[in-house]
Amino acid sequence: MQGAEEHISLFRSYPQLGQKLTVMQLGSYPTPVHRLRLAHTADLWIKRDDLSSPVYGGNKIRKLEFILADARRKNVRHLITLGGIGTNHGLATAIFSHRLGIRCTVLVYRQPVTRSVKRSLLLMNKFNARLIYAKTLLRAMIGYYSTYRLRYPRAYFVYPGGSSTLGTIGYVNAGFELKDQIDLGIIPEPAVIFCPLSSGGSLAGLTLGLQLAGLKNSRLIGVRVMPSHLGPIQACTSLTVENQIKRTYAFLRARCRTLPELDVRQPEIQGEYLGSAYGAPTEAGNRVRRLMQETEDIALDSTYTAKTVAAVMDYCREQHDRAGPVLYWHTYNSVDLSEQSRNVAVRDLPRSLQGFFD
């Protein structure tokens, strides 16, 4: 094995993968699981990936462990990625790239402006990310897939949300980590697991990881928090996630022939919690944000996790005691960086982004 792989449950089950894949430990694992008190059932649990790192938590850390290890192996000095102006992925990439001494460029596009969006912009600037405001998602995608690849041919391009094949492996491993916690009696095997769905890496990785780990009785539901299509192009559908699962499985199988043959599970998606747009708060999301904060002292964000918990609460309400164990996979960061953001002047941002603070 190369590097710090002791926390990779996937490699313990398939040591050959540990010999073929490079990983860099950025987080603290396993992340905790515990019961929640806020639902209509006594059997609601949470997987605390918000505690994945004392530097900056959330689901992006598992993905970046494989992505940044690959970038460092290739001696890359410049990463380019994209996201909304409040992108958690862009911020996580900026923070850990800065710690590794790697330049980071983030192409950003407009989304509804909230306090957390403003904080993310300031923090990306603090951690020396070069912010390029492309205004729209379409223009950001053109820049990412065309303009900047021509301009920076030696840069390492990180998929939106970190949801490349390598990034997705981080959540394949998360499925094995959950299996370890079930085997240790820390949590019963969930009947249903909920997680947010946007770029697809978390849902795709978990779907594959749970299947490889042998958790056949756990139903996985992705709560879609972005539009399913960009014009005629499928962006966040069961097909896009299924294709991501198949690419990741083929990548792993090519490096470990002892992986079992699989018929990939069809991903299950709930799309009715998006609201008016990506990043736009919803009434149901705002309610559960307050409830989670007051009852559990756990923060949710309006873009991803509040909408997912709204779906969890509706499921528990409808199913009552028939639900069985329900697991909510919490993907937000809980490290408080607000003091650091207050030390960044708005005037230090690119002029095109300063208007969001008026």
The answer to whether 282 and 310 are in contact (CB under 8 A) is yes
List, in sequence order, every residue forming a beta bridge with 221; answer none if it has no partner.
194, 268
Strand pairing class (44-48; 233-234): unpaired
The pLDDT of residue 260: 95
The pLDDT of residue 228: 97
The pLDDT of residue 250: 98
> Sorting pLDDT into bands at 50, 70 and 90, what band is 262?
very high
Sorted by sequence, the CB contacts under 8 Å of residue 102 that are 6+ apart come out as 68, 71, 72, 76, 77, 78, 79
Amino acid at 241: V
Main-chain dihedrals φ then ψ at residue 114, nearest 5 degrees: -120, 175
Q: SS3 of 109, please?
A: strand
Q: SS3 of 54, please?
A: coil
The tokens describing 2, both together, are: 């190369």
The pLDDT of residue 1: 35
Mean pLDDT, rounded, for 332-354: 96
Q: SS3 of 174, please?
A: helix
Mean pLDDT, rounded, for 348-356: 97
Q: Is 267 exposed, middle or buried (0-12, 13-18, 19+ CB in 10 A)?
A: buried
Q: Is the pLDDT of residue 2 over 50?
A: no
Sorted by sequence, the CB contacts under 8 Å of residue 52 that are 6+ apart come out as 27, 28, 29, 31, 58, 59, 61, 62
Instruction: Choose among 205, 287, 219: nearest CA to 249.
Output: 205
**pLDDT: which is higher, 3 or 130:** 130
Instruction: Choose among 63, 51, 92: nearest CA to 329.
Output: 51
Estimate to the nearest angstrom the gap between the alpha carbon of 37 and the chain centroid.
Answer: 25
The answer to whether 264 and 223 are in contact (CB under 8 A) is no
Instruction: Choose among 264, 311, 263, 272: nearest CA to 288.
Output: 311
CA distance 319 to 313: 10
The pLDDT of residue 3: 44
**Region of 130 on the Ramachandran plot (φ > 0 left; ψ -120 to 50 alpha; else beta):** beta
Instruction: Choose among 337, 281, 341: nearest CA to 305.
Output: 281
Radius of gyration of the chain (CA): 19
Q: Is the pLDDT of residue 101 over 80?
A: yes
User: What would the CATH number be for the domain defined by 77-154?
Assistant: 3.40.50.1100
> Sorting pLDDT into bands at 50, 70 and 90, what band is 59?
very high
CA distance 246 to 82: 24
Mean pLDDT, rounded, for 180-193: 98
Q: Is the pLDDT of residue 249 over 80?
A: yes
Greatest Cα pair distance, the chain, in angstroms, is 57
Task: Report the chain's terminal Cα–Cα distance, integer Å.
Answer: 51
Mean pLDDT, rounded, for 219-244: 96
- Over pLDDT 90: what percentage of the chain? 93
CA distance 55 to 186: 26
The pLDDT of residue 35: 96
The answer to whether 210 and 182 are in contact (CB under 8 A) is no
Mean pLDDT, rounded, for 148-176: 98
Mean pLDDT, rounded, for 43-60: 97
The tokens describing 328, both together, are: 């909510």
CA distance 354 to 337: 20
The pLDDT of residue 102: 98
Q: Is the peptide bond before 350 cis (omega within 30 degrees of 0)?
A: no
* Span 197-225, pLDDT tens digits: 999 999 999 999 999 999 999 999 999 99
The pLDDT of residue 4: 53
Q: Is the pLDDT of residue 8 over 70?
A: yes
Fold match between 9-59+163-330 and 77-154?
yes
**pLDDT: which is higher, 307 or 231:** 307
Average pLDDT, the chain: 95
- Candidate CATH numbers 3.40.50.620, 3.30.565.10, 3.40.50.1100, 3.40.50.2300; the one for domain 9-59+163-330: 3.40.50.1100
Boundaries of every domain in the chain: 9-59+163-330, 77-154
